[in-house]
Amino acid sequence: MNTLLYSETLKLAPEDNHRLFNLCGKLNEHLKLIEKRLGVIIKQRGHTFSVSGDHVAVKQACDTLNNLYHETQKVPILESKEVHLYLQTVSKKLSQDDQDSHMEIRLRKGVITARGENQVHYIRSIMDHDINFGIGPAGTGKTYLAVACAVQALETERVSRIILVRPIVEAGEKLGFLPGDIAQKVHPYLQPLYDALHEMMGFEKVSQLIEKGVIELLPLAYMRGRSLNDSFIILDEAQNTTSEQMKMFLTRIGFNSKAVITGDVTQIDLNNRHDSGLVHAREILKNVKGISFSQFQIADVVRHPLVQAIVEAYEQQSKK
């Protein structure tokens, strides 16, 4: 027995053939992606679209077409990854109102938009607490959003410097064998943090701030003995800290400072996984007032669609 599909007709305005092509993508790849992700059928004639499927999915698809067509007015090329990221948010079908499912971090170079309930909760926790833990799989935006919050805090003068920290865990090669001074030696370990900063502030601006000491990028070992006031501190890859290192890091935090600790407990590179300072901190600090824990799930992955499937496959294997 056939199920009667709900249909809706949408006409996009103003008519602009270049924007229409941008919306549909080469060989209608964007329309096919929307069909696949939302489970609808899209038929197009010029700027008029007929969308069929489940009532809720049709409404989401029409909103998606409208919003992405509006986006084509701002960008010269609408890339497939942007369509995917937009659908990543839409397909969650969040029951919360717009305030709970949407949040923006406004920077001088642009706007960073939270995608989904857990990212919104994460950003709010960072704003409301002095110490925040972001734990979850790769690709969920833990580090990227933390850097965005740090840049916003610096640009609005809520802090006077940003300090980005990672543990240096060697995998078959001693750090001392790498050429250059200490900054050049640790650069490969800190590259993801550099990349986020360059995207949000620009290469020249980041270089100037690093030279002035407003932005510091440090290996975790260099935190010992310091007391950090008026700073936004991010400890990335925290699953590779020991319990002693985690305690040392957390006790460096001074007045008017904020710390965000990010990590993925499924990617521990220590010889003994049970030594992870992130796992230990989650157990003993979860009920401490003023400390927030944000847990990301596989569904929060916002990279290529295959990344989510890969993470899920590895997680299922680890449970066997």
Per-residue pLDDT reduced to its tens digit, 123-159: 999 998 999 999 998 888 899 999 999 999 999 888 9
Amino acid 298: pLDDT: 78
What phi, psi does 265 have (nearest 5°)?
-70, -5
pLDDT digits (tens, 9 = 90+) for 16-51: 999 999 999 999 999 998 988 888 899 999 999 999
Q: Which pLDDT band holds residue 171 (cuts at 50, 70, 90)?
A: very low
Side chain identity at residue 237, one-letter code: E
**Distance between CA atoms of residues 16 and 164, nearest Å:** 45
- Of residues 99 and 289, more confidence is placed in 289
Helical spans, DSSP H, in the chain: 17-24, 29-38, 55-71, 80-90, 98-101, 117-128, 142-155, 182-201, 203-212, 243-250, 277-284, 305-319
Whole-model pTM above 0.85? Answer: no
167-175: which pairs have CB atoms within 8 A and are 24 or more residues apart?
Answer: 167/219, 167/220, 167/237, 167/238, 167/240, 167/241, 167/245, 168/219, 168/220, 168/221, 169/237, 169/240, 169/269, 169/270, 171/269
Rounded mean pLDDT, 102-124: 86
DSSP annotation of 102: -
**Distance between CA atoms of residues 214 and 21, nearest Å:** 44
Amino acid 308: pLDDT: 67
Q: Is pLDDT at 1 greater than 50 in this prediction?
A: no
Distances in whole angstroms, Cα of residue 247 to Cα of each of 69, 161, 179, 201, 304? 50, 22, 31, 31, 35
Q: Which pLDDT band holds residue 277 (cuts at 50, 70, 90)?
A: very high
Q: Is pLDDT at 164 greater than 60 in this prediction?
A: yes
Task: Give the closest residue to 82 by CA, choosing from 40, 33, 116, 43.
Answer: 33
Amino acid 48: pLDDT: 94
Q: Is pLDDT at 117 greater than 90 in this prediction?
A: no
Q: Is pLDDT at 317 greater than 70 in this prediction?
A: yes
Task: Give the closest residue to 121 by CA, choosing from 110, 137, 132, 112.
Answer: 132
Other Cβ atoms within 10 Å of 47 Cβ, number: 17
Q: Which two tokens stand for residue 41?
A: 């059928």
